[in-house]
Structure 1
Amino acid sequence: MSNLVFDESSSNREASHGYAWWFSGDTFEKAMAEERKPRKRSLMHKLTTHPGRLTILYFTLLGALSTLLLLTPAATPKDEQTTFTTAFFTAISAISTCGISIVNSTTHWSAFGQAVLIFSVQMGGLGVMTFASLIALAVNHHLKATQKLLTANELGTTKLGEIKGVLTVVIATAFTIEGITFVALFPGLYKVNHGNVRHTLWESLFFAVMAYNNAGFTPDGAGLHVNNWAVGLPILVSAFCGTLGFPVLLNLMRSWRNHRPPKRWSLHTKLTLTTTFCIVLASFTWFLLMEWNNKLLFATEGVEPRLWHAMVAAVMPRSSGFDLSWMPGVSDATKVFLSIVMFIGGGSTSTAGGIRVTT
């Protein structure tokens, strides 16, 4: 009798009218044996319970698709040819949001080729943020209770299978910021392109996706337009938001909507914002102090170009990798300092690189 489980079984409650504890021990043993039988799991269930496998599969398929699309004749002008190495390198650079290009993105790729870059960077950025969150949830199952609560609070979910909820938040956050960046870029690029609406719309879309996902591809030979505040500032702000990570952005939006003061922000948000602003301020100050009299950069320019270059140097090298044609002209001390900044990188579950500011 000592091995019997005298408890009300939910499966027998209706049949026994509340007297399930009278059932024999065989009944409980059979029920437990049924529960121990291996159940058939779907492929999606197997993948979602192992986010690492799903991550590898996702980026492998995305890399293969992007490479094949870049190898098609439509991806390049008639007088250009793309080798497998170039297509593969560019595809991997795009889906990993590195933005390193070994060809001129303006002349080598056609409109279709640039569209493939936009698609690859967008899907790569969403994948990085989503799978980072899912892996955090997977690790969450092996943490202590207090750590589980913290992780659940940051990601807005507690179950590993809630991919739909995590993905929805990531997509909504990304598209909202990219949409705002697109609108903000249009007036400045409209002047740069001398009223060409079609080209302005395309460049606004290209820069909006690349900026938030911290990828360094540019749609024209002018690069980042470092001397144009109307174009450079929206890109700078969008790239900065991309380095924070969507849990921080989500917490800030919820706090703003619910009128929560900063002291009620999550610990992760406070830590990310504090560390990020400290790094940006230190980089900005360092650049002004070390490069103010740099004749290679500022031969005849006044104060405004120095301030703008300092802002770009404080934000862009950490993660986005946009073309900074003036970077070789900085001093060796600044190059070492920026190397440290790049090593630190941006926030967790963001597309920024480095060891993360929260580490």
Structure 2
Amino acid sequence: MLRQPARVVAAGFGLAIAIGTVLLMLPVSSESGEATSWVSALFTSTSAVTVTGLFVVDTPTHWSTFGELVLLGLFQVGGFGIMTFASLLGLLVTRRLGLRMQRSAQAETKTLGLGDVRRVVLGVIALSLLVEAVTAVLLTARFATGYDEPFGSAVYLGIFHAVSAFNNAGFVLYSDSLMGFATDPWICLPIVAAFVLGGLGFPVLFELVRHLRRQQRRWSLHIRITLGAYAALSVVGPVAIIGFEWDNPATLGPHGVGGKLLAGFVQGMSPRTSGFNVLDVGAMQPASLLMSDVLMFIGGGSAGTAGGIKVTTFALLAFVMLAEIRGEPHVHVLGRKLPPEVHRQALTVVLAGVGLVLAATLALLVMTPFKLDDVLFEAVSAFATVGLSTGITPELPAAAQILLVVLMFVGRIGPITFASALALRERGRRYDLPEERPIVG
């Protein structure tokens, strides 16, 4: 894994997507009993495995129960794989760099023991099942008592949406996503809680559990940055959406004050990257779309089911900028000094993401007749594996859909493997070159 982490991760996700594509192409997977085209099956399988949520066919009407169960299995496997792979790679990077700094004899092995792998895998499984089970019980109770669903149907709906929420998949068994539940806190809030927990990442949740059990008193720098940045953006997003959409007759306008606050809160949290929408995204104000673009691009926590460049990367760059503005020679964050290589890694990940999104946006503008707002939103949503859309996804030509497939795949495994590869490739130089400063700005 250390020598070729990108190949291991890419091969695992590629195999899952291929299996999902074959299963979704089977006639038994569709409601009509006819085979689904390979492009639609590939797009849907990729969207499920990368826990994105974009779709080119309507989920509840096109797929049979078998097809829906295939989707559930794909985004469960995808979410589990993301949290496991990312957590192991993060542990691997920390172990290697930590051992190297200590100049320990074990540093030359640069490997993880079976105990480490077992702890991470079992931890991810236990955490996933616990959150999904609690969420499923709450949703099942609401579907059964509030919407008169038969018990079996309520259980099915509860489990499907709980798994989709925790894995930030965004797949819903309703054609209008969660718009029909926009003012129902008993549906919306459990789903928000589930995708926030999934989006924070296993390392953060694991450390929180250890802290609650008093096994660890001091929080690490990673958890403090993640929680702080996540909390700040969780305020900015809902406040912006509520403010921009308050009087929009096509979104929040028809609701009462309480309904506006709840729906605006859910819609403002969703770009972090759950993909559930309680408002008509295509009818939102341009300012709301741009704010959603920013939130989607930033994403959630490292080693979680959310996508994007990650809140930690975003926060680190903010600290770097602050130190430069102040004229400080070093970057200090919450009582800790950041090594220069972390600055470079964060900058590289962000610029690579920006370049990929801009290239995809330009290609989509060339291939489709849609305006920039819609195309940019689609590209960012695919790269950040969010799943929100202004409604143009099913109308895209096959070539554009294939481009989004590539973007979802790269957007999901790229930041994970790219960041770890940058850290693992660090090596010293035996000499340095003469220093010269070019003009900046």
Q: TM-score, normalization: structure 1? A: 0.78
Identical-pair percentage: 35
Q: Is 1:335–2:296 an aligned residue pair?
A: no
Residue equivalent to 1:312: 266
Q: 1:205-228 CA deviation, whole Å, 9 max, x = no partner?
A: 100110000011111335222222
Relative to structure 1, the CA distance from residue 322 to residue 301 in structure 2 (aligned partners, 3 Å threshold; closer, same or farther) is closer
Residue equivalent to 1:189: 143
Instruction: Assess if the C-alpha contact under 8 Å between 2:169 and 2:275 holds in 1.
Output: yes
How far is the alpha carbon of 1:111 from its aligned partner? 0.8
Residue equivalent to 2:160: 206
How far is the alpha carbon of 1:84 from its aligned partner? 1.0
Q: 1:274-296 CA deviation, whole Å, 9 max, x = no partner?
A: 10010011112222332222233
Q: 1:300-335 CA deviation, whole Å, 9 max, x = no partner?
A: 422111101221122111201124442222221121
Q: Is 1:243–2:199 an aligned residue pair?
A: yes
1-side partners of 2:249 and 2:233: how far apart?
26
2-side partners of 1:296 and 1:64: how far apart?
39
Residue equivalent to 1:92: 46
Instruction: Assess if the C-alpha contact under 8 Å between 1:138 and 1:160 holds in 2.
Output: no
Number of aligned residue pairs: 304
2-side partners of 1:114 and 1:281: how far apart?
34
Instruction: Assess if the C-alpha contact under 8 Å between 1:52 and 1:135 holds in 2.
Output: no
1-side partners of 2:252 and 2:113: how far apart?
53
How far is the alpha carbon of 1:342 from its aligned partner? 0.9
Give the residue type in structure 2 aligned to 1:184.
L
Relative to structure 1, the CA distance from residue 281 to residue 192 in structure 2 (aligned partners, 3 Å threshold; closer, same or farther) is same
Relative to structure 1, the CA distance from residue 282 to residue 78 in structure 2 (aligned partners, 3 Å threshold; closer, same or farther) is closer
- SS of residue paired to 1:106: helix
Instruction: Assess if the C-alpha contact under 8 Å between 1:126 and 1:171 holds in 2.
Output: yes
2-side partners of 1:126 and 1:96: how far apart?
11
Instruction: Assess if the C-alpha contact under 8 Å between 2:263 and 2:278 holds in 1.
Output: no
State how 1:97-136 maps to structure 2 within 5 Å.
97-136=51-90
Instruction: Assess if the C-alpha contact under 8 Å between 2:241 and 2:267 holds in 1.
Output: yes
State how 1:1-359 maps to structure 2 within 5 Å.
50-140=4-94, 142-145=96-99, 159=112, 161=114, 162-224=116-178, 225-258=181-214, 264-359=218-313
Relative to structure 1, the CA distance from residue 82 to residue 163 in structure 2 (aligned partners, 3 Å threshold; closer, same or farther) is same
1-side partners of 2:47 and 2:160: how far apart?
16
2-side partners of 1:170 and 1:286: how far apart?
33
Instruction: Assess if the C-alpha contact under 8 Å between 1:140 and 1:148 holds in 2.
Output: no
Give the residue type in structure 1 aligned to 2:154.
T
Structure 1, unpaired ranges of 5+: 1-46, 150-157
1-side partners of 2:243 and 2:100: how far apart?
44
Q: Which one has more relative contact order, counting CA pairs under 8 Å at least 6 apart?
A: 2
Residue equivalent to 1:9: none
Structure 2, unpaired ranges of 5+: 104-110, 314-441
Give the residue type in structure 2 aligned to 1:233.
L
2-side partners of 1:122 and 1:77: how far apart?
22
Q: TM-score, normalization: structure 2? A: 0.64
2-side partners of 1:148 and 1:357: how far apart?
29
Relative to structure 1, the CA distance from residue 186 to residue 269 in structure 2 (aligned partners, 3 Å threshold; closer, same or farther) is same
Relative to structure 1, the CA distance from residue 148 to residue 227 in structure 2 (aligned partners, 3 Å threshold; closer, same or farther) is farther
How far is the alpha carbon of 1:79 from its aligned partner? 4.8
Relative to structure 1, the CA distance from residue 325 to residue 296 in structure 2 (aligned partners, 3 Å threshold; closer, same or farther) is closer
Q: Which has the larger radius of gyration?
A: 1
How far is the alpha carbon of 1:147 from its aligned partner? 7.4
**What RMSD in Å do the two structures reach over aligned CA positions?**
2.4
Instruction: Assess if the C-alpha contact under 8 Å between 1:140 and 1:147 holds in 2.
Output: no
Instruction: Pick which of 308-317 and 110-119 moved more.
Output: 308-317
2-side partners of 1:81 and 1:147: how far apart?
57
Q: 1:227-275 CA deviation, whole Å, 9 max, x = no partner?
A: 22111111111011111001111111111122866xx222211111110
